[in-house]
Chain A
Amino acid sequence: MQRRIIKDKLFEIIIIIFALVSTFPLILILFQIVKKGIASINWSFFVNLPQPPGESGGGVSNAILGTFILIVIAGGFSILLGVLGGTFISEYKDKKISELIRLCVNIFQGIPSIVIGIIVYIWIVMPLHRFSALSGGIALGIMMLPLIVKSTEETLRLIPSSLKEASLALGASYTTTMLRVILPAGINGILSGILISVSRVAGETAPLLFTAFGNPFMNFNIFKPVDSLPLLIFNYSMSPYPEWHSIAWGASFVLISFIIILNILTKMVSRKWKTVF
């Protein structure tokens, strides 16, 4: 009997130790990013452009702008398509095509981002003969799609059909019912799906390597290459210049802060607009 209890305690202790040890890397990463990141952040970091290698004092304003542009393009395209597509498969649950889309979405959710890069290179960069913010944005948008479709469908499925029936019975048209009643009722789920997907692609690098391509200058033109924070971190961290390493730390800090803020926002959104039925 005694031995069984000791064994039980031992098991519990091991579980606790392993669980807590697994947070060490996180604490280490965050600690180093905060420490080294803050040290290299100042006003010029946010407003200046990168300097030639080996010269100090560069900034990452181009990459911050680029990341923003890429997310706007990605969002614009994937939210529209994703929400409409998600609505379709929740409305026509049993149609063959819905089944097919669901299957595709499930498979595509885990497609390596580098593969999406190849696809967008073939689809957009080659025919247009240019690297561009547009192609980078679409690559990120394709990555956002599965999550948005899924979260839209799942949210709408939870909305009781009585709501829809009531609206229709009151004489509202189908369109009005969907746009004014059903989608707003599910706004929390849809919005948090969108926010999560944005936070996932904000840090993506691989699909941008051969689409957005990078740019050391400010660029507002979506048909030209842009830089992005993750791309800049990749290029700078692989360089032998200490000045660039510290800029990469700073950029990591900015990027992680942005992503964590998005995550917190997601939690707030799903709490605040939670509709209870």
Chain B
Amino acid sequence: MSIRFLKVGFRYARGLPWETEALKNINLEVRKNEILGIIGPTGSGKTTLLQLMNGIRHPSEGKVLIDDQDPAVLKGREITRLRQKVGLVFQSPEDQLFANSVYEDIAFGPKNLGVAGSELDNRVRWAMEVLDLGFEDLSRRRPQNLSGGQKRRVAIAGVLAIKPEYLVLDEPTAGLDPEGRKGLLKLIRKLREDLGMGVVMVSHRLQDIMSTCDRVVVLEKGEIRKTGTPREIMRSGQELIELGLHLPPINMVLHELKDVFPYLDTAALGPEEAAGEIDRAIRGL
């Protein structure tokens, strides 16, 4: 079971003079039990790609299949059921919190799908537990009075309460402080490890992508330039720089040492690995 992109293209403003090709010939599989990272410069089509994943938008060319079903040809209740499989969390999702209590906000999604009674209560409790939101402390609080990190997690819990099998997150850590960011990345890993979900995340922070994802896709001008493990992607540092991406500072250091240590591996993930690599290079190993 997976979300599959088959030769997908997408154009905005089709047939108008300002028609733009946002995505071209995308072939991609989003699997369960995997965290897929998407990186690319601003305007490379990352957000459009995410919106195609649960049928909010339909491709102009090719097909997107969710567990082998095509949302573009389904109607009514069937498309609702299919969309339920793919939870979409937009940028700054906390801007969309509206209810008077955390409980009501999280319950809103499943309630609209007809979930009620003890099942609804169970779902809210479960989603809060998964996202490390203490039920006793927080369920009756006003979302507006929580910290930035808590608000973000309440917003994600609202999507999780729909019980999707895939979760798609657009810049989940943007604007959070370091503790909030680390905590959220840990929870994202938990979604895969404990629940076996398929998770897709877009981030401008390469460090977050590299520390969290199993597989990474590099987008540029609407096309996939590269797919690989975080390490494989970091090894092509020069290409990433040319695409206008910002390498983590330590990889920048390794990259600039390449002219004195030609055999240096620039793909280190984190300062500890980088120091080991530099030590080896200096000792001529």
Asked if A and B are interacting partners, one says no
